Amino acid sequence: MMKHWLSGFILLTAFSAIAETNAPPRGGPPLGWSTSVRGGSVYNFETDMDGGGNFSLHRYSVDAGLAYLFKADRMISLSVGYGLDDYDFSGVERQPWNNIENYRVSSFTRWALDEEWSLFAIPSVRSYGEKGSSFDDTLTGAFIGGASYKFSDRLTLGPGFAVAGQIEDDARYFPVLLLDWKITERLSLGTGSGGASSSGPGLTLSYTASKQWIYELSARYERRRFRLDKNNRFAPGGVGEDRNIPITGSITYQLYPGTSLSGIIGSSFGGRLRVEDRSGNKLRSEDYDPAAFAGLILKIRM
């Protein structure tokens, strides 16, 4: 049960990232078509593994979105993205994997039924695999759907459900929850918005200091499963997994309407690397120490 709730939180962060890429910008957007681009780079500094050896990680990500806004609370959008996780292992007999690539296509629909109730739907397809692995073996799909209720101008809550495919694992079904709580005029808590990392935020506490400056603190549970190349020396055609809990602080500067630059810094906790054979049987599992990270994210909306 706990794994299902954690997986639900992961999918909810994916929803948050899509919503952030395609949601109306601050200050009120024009109706009709808009485009957006988001790119970033995050470096995880070297950390030790319990079984010996260490590794560092450099992540790159870019997303492009196209949205149509019928009105402030009714929109449809499509986003595509690419990411690269560049792992650098040292002090190990055999490197479990090298560069991990991911490609993603997502659709996002938000439709207000009245002044209180809104529906949302997010189907997505993702490829996650070591460079050189068969594309067909890296594909998974997911769907999130549900509704949100606006209790007041300060609080919106939404129940929903999700189903997510897993590489060499059973699909998972679980509930999700959308939260948007404006605690004060400047302070808010929610599962949407935020520039905590290239893979999207989890639960984010945000403080808007001015029209230009935004400070945020985010936490999420992150689990990445990916197909290994058939020539991988550790587990040919198997599955790799990296899971951890990143806690991130960010400072965002609005360069001009629709464009922002974020600097991030933080640390991941409870990290574990896992290698499985092609059937999903565990071959090796290694915990690793807390890992500090830092990076930059640029967002442009037109």
**pLDDT confidence of residue 29:** 55
Question: pLDDT by residue (tens digit) across 92-119?
Answer: 988 999 999 999 999 999 999 999 999 9
Q: Determine contact, residues 22/34, Cβ cutoff 8 Å.
A: no
Count of other CB atoms within 10 angstroms of residue 25: 15
Cα–Cα–Cα angle for 196, 200, 202, nearest 5°? 80
Number of domains forming the structure of the chain:
1
**pLDDT confidence of residue 221:** 85
Q: Taking the model in full, what pTM does it have? A: 0.84
CA dihedral over 106, 158, 179, 210, signed as positive or negative: positive
Q: Determine contact, residues 250/12, Cβ cutoff 8 Å.
A: no
In this structure, what token pair is assigned to residue 109?
């629909």
**pLDDT confidence of residue 223:** 86
**pLDDT confidence of residue 201:** 46
Q: Which residues of the chain have pLDDT under 50?
A: 1-28, 193-201
Rg, Å, the chain Cα set: 19
Distance CA 4, CA 228 (A): 24
Distance CA 22, CA 43 (A): 26
**pLDDT confidence of residue 241:** 95
The domain in which residue 124 lies consists of 2-301
Strands 155-166 and 139-150 turn out to be antiparallel
- 150-155 contact pairs (CB < 8 A, 24+): 150/115, 150/116, 150/117, 150/118, 151/116, 153/182, 154/181, 154/182, 154/183, 155/180, 155/181, 155/182
Distance CA 205, CA 32 (A): 30
Q: Determine contact, residues 31/198, Cβ cutoff 8 Å.
A: no
Q: Determine contact, residues 24/69, Cβ cutoff 8 Å.
A: yes
Cα–Cα–Cα angle for 47, 220, 55, nearest 5°? 15
Nearest to 60 by CA among 33, 38, 31, 28: 38
CATH of the domain at 164: 2.40.128
Question: pLDDT by residue (tens digit) across 130-171?
Answer: 999 999 999 999 998 999 999 999 999 999 888 888 888 778
